[in-house]
Every structure is written in C-alpha cells, then in structure tokens.
Structure 1
Amino acid sequence: MSTILNNIKQIVSSAIKVEVNKPVIKNGKKRYPVVVTDMGQSITSGWSIKYLPTAQNNGQRLYDGSQTFSALNIHKFSKIHNLIITANHYFLGNQNVEVMMDGRRRAIYEPDNKIRLTVTSQSNSVVVVLTVIDEESPFYMMSIPFNVVLSNDNSGDYYVIGSEDRWDRTIDMFTESNANFAPRKTRFYRVHQNANQAPTLNARIANHNGQFQIHPNGSFAIDMEAAPPEWIQVITNEYKALAYIYEQVIMEIAFKKALEQGLPSNERNQISFDDFQETPFARQGGFIPAFNLNNPATAGAENEQPIIPLPNEPKPPVTAGRNVTLPWT
C-alpha cells in the first residue's frame, strides 16, 4: 500500500469520532445513520457528516451504495458565514475577477492555506463554493456551495440562502445537503457498436398500454426496470480523484468503527454537541470583511479582522431564484 494512502488513513483515523444512530427506513431499506465528526484542530473541527449505509452479511458489513454522505453539519458557522460574505464583497468590487468564455464572471480567493473560495456569477445569484484545503482536516477537498443574494428588506445587505432556516444560531450550526467530495453518482446507459453497424443504446423503450413511449422529437421514455442504468462517478481530474480517495478512506474507517461499536436496534444514540457549544451567535451592526486581500495571513486571526468600508456605488440587482448548477472548484 502506498505511503500517500497510509498518510491519508492516518489523518482520517486519528481525527474522527464515529457514532451510529437508530436505524431508519429509506427507499424501502433499513439504514444505519453513521455520523463522522472531526475532533481534530483543523478548520473543520466540530464538523460532522452523515452516511446512510445498509447492513450486509448478517450485520458484518456496512455498505452505502450512494458512495457519499447525505448531510453536513458545519460547527461555528458564523466564522464561515463571514468568509462567504467577504468573498462576495470582494467579488462585487471586481477584485481578482475574470470573465470566462461563457460570459460568466469568476474569482478565486484563498485567505489562508485552509480554505479556497471560488465565486461565480449566475443569472440571479452569486455562487460561492468553499473547498477545504487544510491538509490536517479529515474532510480535505470537500466542496460546499452557497448561494448569496441581495436581501429584499431594502437594507442593502447580502445573505446566504438557507441561513434563515438551516442555521441554528443557538449552537452556531449550519446544515447543508449539497456538499460533496467527488461528484455524486450519475445514471448512464452504455452505447454498443460493432463494425459497420449503427450504435445501439443498452436501454428499453417504455411501453404503456401496448404503446411505445416515443416522443415527436425522436426521444423516448426508458423502462428502467427492464434495463436499469449504471450509476457512475465521473472523475475528470486529479483533484476530484483525491477527493474521491478521501471519502473512500472515511467510509472504510467509519464503517469499521461503527461495526466495532455494534449496530443499534431500539435505542437511539444521541449525538451530543455539548463540547462544541458557545455563546449564541448575535448579529453585529455593519460589515467587517473576514479576510484582507492585501494580507491574506490575517484570515487566521480569531479576534482581529480588518475593517474595510463598503463601496457607495449601487449593488447589482441580485435576487433569489431557482437552483442552479454549481461549479467544481
């Protein structure tokens, strides 16, 4: 086994705590929620992710067919929130912004060597993707998308979508379901082609009351029971590959520790956040950027943050809209 893989396993194994909750039924299967919490000193300390594996081989093996976690809890989200709003502030000020070939604007900010913030303009919002680049974190290369919009209360402030209902300010915890390591699995059908023959799609046309479901434009409905698709994770570069490796290691170690604890049946194992609780988050007046582009090293300071006045020029008309496809950083 390679030294690199062993190092990753050591980082993950030494940093995480694993808890198993009472089984739940999802998609007709009994699943055991496995909660993995970062107990180390990295930027993701206190964060937790949840997997929903099924038990196989008479409870001797846990397997999650989705190959990814279902939810992320971000501890001390107020600090992350400040970083997101600061990145949006610099982006709207056109700092380090480039125009891509499709006309969208993008900027990348790295306030320290622990996180990367990739900001991209969308038709009705600004997307900030936070990527964990702290090499001490077991969640290294995790990517988390946030939509930032202009508040509709005429205050001129910006806010992160979801902060009104998924941010528990009493414990400063934010719940996110769209974060991921490598891209999630996607359904595919294979195309077969022999020499001198037309390509054939390995699928079946859906049939309803004896009629094949073929549309006027030539497309057709698929009978997924007769010919189920394949679920494949598309890995297109070394960064996605590294993220994939980290998640595979997390699942391997977490599921092993979960089995060692024993799978619960009736009693729910409650997750305690007592060790992480602090004073409830209180909103402060005015805007203070969480990092300075001219001196990124100051981003690591817990109690010192540079004060940069907001520009007086009008802000772009950004409003909340439907979900958009989020970029990979």
Structure 2
Amino acid sequence: MSTILNNIKQIVSSAIKVEVNKPVIKNGKKKYPVVVTDMGQSITSGWSIKYLPTAQNNGQRLYDGSQTFSALNIHKFSKIHNLIITANHYFLGNQNVEVMMDGRRRAIYEPDNKIRLTVTSQSNSVVVVVTVIDEESPFYMMSIPFNVVLSNDNSGDYYVIGSEDRWDRTIDMFTESNANFAPRKTRFYRVHQNANQAPTLNARIANHNGQFQIHPNGSFAIDMEAAPPEWIQVITNEYKALAYIYEQVIMEIAFKKALEQGLPSNERNQISFDDFQETPFARQGGFIPAFNLANPASTGAENEQPIIPLPNEPKPPVTAGSNVTLPWT
C-alpha cells in the first residue's frame, strides 16, 4: 500500500470520533446514521458529517450507495461566516477579480493555508465556495458553497443565505446539506456506436397516454424502468481525485469503527461547546474584514476590461494591509 494512502489513513483515523445513532427508515430501507466528528486541532475541529449506510451480510458490513455524506455541521461557524463576508467585500471591491469567458467574474482568496475562498458572480447573488486546505484536517478538500445576497432591509448589509434558519447561534453551529468532497454522482445513460453507424441510446423513449414524449427541441423523456441509469462521479482534476480518496478513507474507517461499536448504538456523546466564550453576533458599528489582502496593489485591476456591476452592487473603498490576520489565531 502506498505511503500517501497510509498517511491519509493515519490522519483520518487519529482525528475522528465515530458515533452510530438509532436506525431510521429512508426510501423504505433501514439506515444507520453514522456521525463522523473531527476531534483534532485542525480548522475543522468540531465539525461533523453524517452518513446513512445500510447494513449488509447480517450486520457484518455497512454500505452507503450514495458514496457521500448527507449533512455537515460546522462548529464555530461565526469564524467561517466572517471569512465569507470578507471575501464578498473584497470581491465587490474588485480585488483580485478576473472576468471569465462566459462573462461571470471570479476571484480566489487564500487568507492562510487552511481555507480557500472561491468567489463567483451570479445573476442576483455571489457564490463563495469554502474549500478546506488544512492538511491536518480529516475533511481535507471538502467544499461548501454559500450564497451571499444583499439584505432587503435597506441597510446595505450582505448576509449568507441560510443564516436565518440553519445557523444555531446558541451553540454557533451551521447545518449544510450541499457540501461535498468529490462531485456527487450524476445519472448517465450509455450511448452505443459501432463503426460507420449512427450512435444509439440503449433506452426507450417514455410513453405517456400512448404518445411518445419528444419535445420540439429534439430532446425526449427516458423510460426509467426500461433502462436504469448509471450513477457516475466525474473526476476532472487531481484535487477532486484527492477529495474522492479522502472520503473513501473516511467511510472505510468510520464504518469499521461503527461496526465495532455495535448496531445500533443508543448512546450519543455530544460535542462540548464550553470553550465558546465569544459573542460574535453583536453589530460592531461597521464592517471589519476578517482577513487582509497581502498585495492589493498588484491585482492587475487596472488592466481589466470594464465590468458591469451586479444589481445594487456598492462600490466601497477597500483598504488592505500587508499582513494576513486570521480570526482563529
């Protein structure tokens, strides 16, 4: 076995705690919620992810057909929230922004060697993808997308969608269901083609009330029962491949530990939040960036093409120092 894979297994195994909750019924199947919590000292310390595997071979094996976790809990989300809002602030100030071929704007900020913030413009919002790049984290290369929009209360403030209902401020915990390591599986249908012949789809066109559903644009509905799809994860670069490896290792180790504990487990040890002493939710009398850009003068903004601002986009002056300031150090 390769040294690299052994190192990943060592990082994951030494950092995580595994709990098995009471079984639940989902889609007619009994599933055992397996909660994996980072108990190490990385940036994701206290974060937890939940898998929903089924038991096979008379309870001797756990298997999750989705091959990915179903939910993420971000402990001490206020720190991540500050980074997201700061990235949005610099992005709207046109710092390190590039124009892509499709007309959208993008910027990448790395305030340290633990988190990468990829910001992309959308029609009515800004998407900030938080990627874990802390090599000490068992959740290395996990990505979490957040949508940032302008508040409709005329305050001029921006907020992260989900803050009002998925952020439990009493324990500073945010629950997210759209995070992932490698891209989630996608449905594919095979197209067959022999030499010098037209390609054919190995499926039947769906029939509704005796009529085949062929749309004016040439597309058509597939008979799902006649040709079941294949579920495939598309890996397009080495980073996504590495993320895939990390999640496979997490599932292997977590499911093994879960079986060793026995199914089901009725006990559930809660994370301790006794060290959460701060009150980060009070208004500070103005926006304070959570990190500073190192070299704002060398962004190349003076050579960029004119950019049409987003609706209601403010143009605040951006002041950046020469040092990186992190909220958790």
Conservation of the 8 A alpha-carbon contact between 2:92 and 2:314: no
Q: How does 1:158-173 map to 2 (within 5 A)?
A: 158-173=158-173
Shift, 1:4, TM fit: 0.1
CA distance in 1, matches of 2:44, 2:321: 29
Conservation of the 8 A alpha-carbon contact between 2:73 and 2:174: yes
Cα distance change on mapping 1:298 and 1:8 into 2, 3 Å:
farther
Gaps of 5+ in 1: none
Conservation of the 8 A alpha-carbon contact between 1:22 and 1:268: no
Residue 232 of structure 2 is matched in structure 1 by 232
User: SS in structure 2 opposite 1:302?
Assistant: helix
User: SS in structure 1 opposite 2:323?
Assistant: coil
CA distance in 2, matches of 1:252, 1:98: 40
Q: How does 1:125-144 map to 2 (within 5 A)?
A: 125-144=125-144
Residue 205 of structure 2 is matched in structure 1 by 205
Cα distance per residue 1:41-88 (max 9 Å; x no partner): 000000000111111111111111111111100000001000000011
Cα distance change on mapping 1:17 and 1:283 into 2, 3 Å:
farther
User: For structure 1, which segment, 98-107 or 180-189, has the greater mean C-alpha deviation from structure 2 after superposition?
Assistant: 98-107
Shift, 1:193, TM fit: 1.2
Shift, 1:199, TM fit: 1.0
CA distance in 2, matches of 1:78, 1:305: 35
Cα distance change on mapping 1:274 and 1:62 into 2, 3 Å:
farther
CA distance in 2, matches of 1:122, 1:87: 15
Shift, 1:226, TM fit: 1.7
Cα distance change on mapping 1:318 and 1:111 into 2, 3 Å:
closer
Cα distance change on mapping 1:133 and 1:262 into 2, 3 Å:
same
Conservation of the 8 A alpha-carbon contact between 2:21 and 2:33: yes
Shift, 1:249, TM fit: 0.3
TM-score (norm: length of structure 2): 0.86
Conservation of the 8 A alpha-carbon contact between 2:111 and 2:326: no
CA distance in 2, matches of 1:220, 1:324: 53
User: SS in structure 1 opposite 2:302?
Assistant: coil
CA distance in 2, matches of 1:150, 1:323: 29
Shift, 1:272, TM fit: 6.5
User: SS in structure 1 opposite 2:303?
Assistant: coil
Cα distance change on mapping 1:304 and 1:51 into 2, 3 Å:
farther
CA distance in 2, matches of 1:68, 1:236: 18
Cα distance per residue 1:119-172 (max 9 Å; x no partner): 111111011111000000000000010111111111111111100110000000
Cα distance change on mapping 1:312 and 1:250 into 2, 3 Å:
closer
Cα distance change on mapping 1:50 and 1:12 into 2, 3 Å:
same
User: For structure 1, which segment, 14-23 or 310-319, has the greater mean C-alpha deviation from structure 2 after superposition?
Assistant: 310-319
User: SS in structure 1 opposite 2:275?
Assistant: helix
TM-score (norm: length of structure 1): 0.86
Cα distance per residue 1:182-215 (max 9 Å; x no partner): 0000000001111232211011222234433333
User: SS in structure 1 opposite 2:149?
Assistant: strand
Shift, 1:322, TM fit: 38
Cα distance change on mapping 1:327 and 1:50 into 2, 3 Å:
farther
Conservation of the 8 A alpha-carbon contact between 2:214 and 2:220: yes
Cα distance per residue 1:7-50 (max 9 Å; x no partner): 00000000000001111111111111110000000000000001
CA distance in 2, matches of 1:213, 1:53: 36
Cα distance change on mapping 1:209 and 1:197 into 2, 3 Å:
same
Cα distance change on mapping 1:228 and 1:269 into 2, 3 Å:
farther
User: SS in structure 2 opposite 1:87?
Assistant: helix
Conservation of the 8 A alpha-carbon contact between 1:125 and 1:320: no
Conservation of the 8 A alpha-carbon contact between 1:124 and 1:321: no
CA distance in 2, matches of 1:324, 1:124: 30
Cα distance change on mapping 1:322 and 1:127 into 2, 3 Å:
farther
Cα distance change on mapping 1:232 and 1:309 into 2, 3 Å:
closer
Conservation of the 8 A alpha-carbon contact between 2:53 and 2:63: yes
User: For structure 1, which segment, 288-297 or 14-23, has the greater mean C-alpha deviation from structure 2 after superposition?
Assistant: 288-297
User: SS in structure 1 opposite 2:148?
Assistant: strand
Shift, 1:297, TM fit: 18
User: SS in structure 2 opposite 1:275?
Assistant: coil
Conservation of the 8 A alpha-carbon contact between 1:110 and 1:296: no
Conservation of the 8 A alpha-carbon contact between 1:182 and 1:244: yes
Shift, 1:225, TM fit: 1.4
Cα distance change on mapping 1:22 and 1:279 into 2, 3 Å:
farther
Gaps of 5+ in 2: none
Conservation of the 8 A alpha-carbon contact between 2:22 and 2:32: yes
Cα distance change on mapping 1:245 and 1:193 into 2, 3 Å:
same
Conservation of the 8 A alpha-carbon contact between 1:19 and 1:271: no
User: For structure 1, which segment, 104-113 or 286-295, has the greater mean C-alpha deviation from structure 2 after superposition?
Assistant: 286-295
Cα distance per residue 1:288-311 (max 9 Å; x no partner): 100011289999999999999999
